[in-house]
Amino acid sequence: MRLSRLLTIVLCCAWGMLFAAPAFYDHPVFYAQDNPDPLVATATRDMNVRSGAGTTFPAAGRLANGAAVRVIERNRAGTWLRINQYGGDGSVTLDGWVLGGYLRLSPDFRMSMIPINTQIQDSLPGAFGGNIARLYDTPVFSPLTGSLLTNLRLISTRGRLNGIRPNSIIKVGDSLSADPLYLTVISREPRDYGPFDYLIETVDYYRDSTIDPGIAASVGMATYTVLDPQWAPDDRCDPAESPLACELRVKQPFAAFILFGPNDVLHVSPDYFREQYRQIIQLCIDNGTIPVISTFSFNENADNADRALAFNLVVLDLAAEYEIPLINLWLAARPLPEFGLEGDFVHMQLSGFPYLKLSRGDEAWYGATLRNLLALGMLHELRIAVLGASIPQPTPEALPETTPESTVDPSAFPTNTPGG
């Protein structure tokens, strides 16, 4: 009897350690603020405030742990926030960008309260030379404008003629995409959006399509196996039908979120990778499904770093060649510990939560959370730009004033000595 009870306690503790809280990094959760203004936040560490939304931009100043700031705007992904710090007279003493996950935000703060700076770049142009400069200079999100947007609408028009389901998406890739905590997680409750309220309608629209994880993403999958009928299950697919062709036929998705590279790097050449990836993209386009392709994070000190770079450059080439959306996960993950990767330098590090949880700033610490946020953010933009869904705009009363003296109580922003 006692042994049984002890075993129960041990199992419960083990389950709690696995899922209740992140075990790797000590970072803050978002506690309530004394200040009633939801745009007021506090720094959780001494940090650089950058002149742009990325670590390659020079520091505009230092922010001390505990310093009070006001959130002014965000980048498209919602990962970087522009903040102002004020002096005793209400004048701005520091203006710049920080990772949102480094701030303790008000529980009442919502991203929809602040405008999106669509012009801010994700990296300082020319900060690096050589081939890696292309990865730094490519935005985290492709701009859904101009000829790229025209192309996406043409693909979507073809999709409507082919019977595409506008509320269906699929995952295509290896174990990074097969992970049930990537996108599939939105089909489960609870869903904790934290400040990312603008994602709610999009998740509600697509969540049911992610219940079935599908067959185009599985452990060991590569660009050449997703096109190989031998990898397709007989009970779900037609004879001679590849996993990708089968998935497109069965689910008729609006968009396919594709990430390949970590397995291909080990087995094929960049040219072969390019050839196979082209077939994947073309299959999606012919079906009327928008392919959303992604770079992958890698450790620049790893033995195969040069090959990983070459494969990522192929992904950039294909996004430009086909004028399709790109998520530059590689760039977005640069500020994260270990570039967002687990100890194997392949898989994205998990936060420990078995459900969608965006209220802790984990996107600044864990690669898996960041990747979910980026995928959902891109899906949100595609839904608006291609399907014509409306996007709620910040109300005038929620927008920060450009003249803080007229609206800000100087006592709410104590003067802080910058950290070292």
CATH label of the domain that carries residue 235: 3.40.50.1110
Q: Examine residue 390 and state whether it is found in any structural domain, yes or no.
A: no
- Assign 36 a pLDDT band (cuts: 50, 70, 90): confident
At 308, is the secondary structure helix, strand, or coil?
helix
Whether pLDDT at 392 is above 50: no
Residue 16 reports pLDDT greater than 60: no
Is 100 found in the same domain as 233?
no
* 70 within some domain: yes
Q: Does 64 share its domain with 143?
A: no
The whole-angstrom separation of Cα 52 and Cα 60 is 9
Judging by DSSP bridges, how do beta strands 191-192 and 356-357 pair with one another? parallel
pLDDT band at 228 (very low <50, low <70, confident <90, very high): very high
Domain identity same for 153 and 104: no
Q: What does the pLDDT read at residue 294?
A: 99
Tokens of 146: 């101009």
Amino acid found at 224:
Y
Domain-embedded: residue 393: no
Number of domains in the chain: 2
> Is the domain of 402 the same as that of 372?
no
Q: Give pLDDT, residue 301.
A: 86
Residues 337 and 358 in one domain: yes
* Same domain as 150, residue 88: no
The helix/strand/coil state of 17 is helix
Residues 55 and 159 in one domain: no
Residue 375's identity, in one-letter code, is A
User: How high is the pLDDT of residue 146?
Assistant: 97
The pTM of this model reads 0.86
Percent of the chain with pLDDT over 90: 82
**Residues 136 and 54 reside in one and the same domain:** no
**The most confident of 162-171, 299-308, 337-346, 410-419, by mean pLDDT:** 162-171
For residue 143, say if its preceding peptide bond is cis, omega within 30 degrees of 0: no
- Amino acid (1-letter code) at residue 308: A
Model confidence over 135-152: pLDDT tens digits? 999 999 999 999 999 999
**Surface-to-core class of residue 264, CB atoms within 10 Å of its CB (0-12 exposed, 13-18 middle, 19+ buried):** buried
Let me know whether 407 and 269 are in one domain: no
Asked if residue 418 is part of any domain, the answer here is no
Residue 27 resides in a domain: no
Q: What is the CATH number of the domain that holds 46?
A: 2.30.30.40
The answer on 403 and 282 residing in a single domain is no
Clarify whether residues 234 and 267 are in a common domain: yes
Structural domain span for residue 46: 40-115+398-412
- Token output for 115: 């405008």
Q: Which residues pair with 348 in a beta bridge?
A: 341
Name the residue type at position 164.
I
Q: Both tokens of residue 179?
A: 């992970």
347 and 408, same domain (yes or no):
no
- The percent of residues in the chain predicted with pLDDT above 70, rounded, is 84
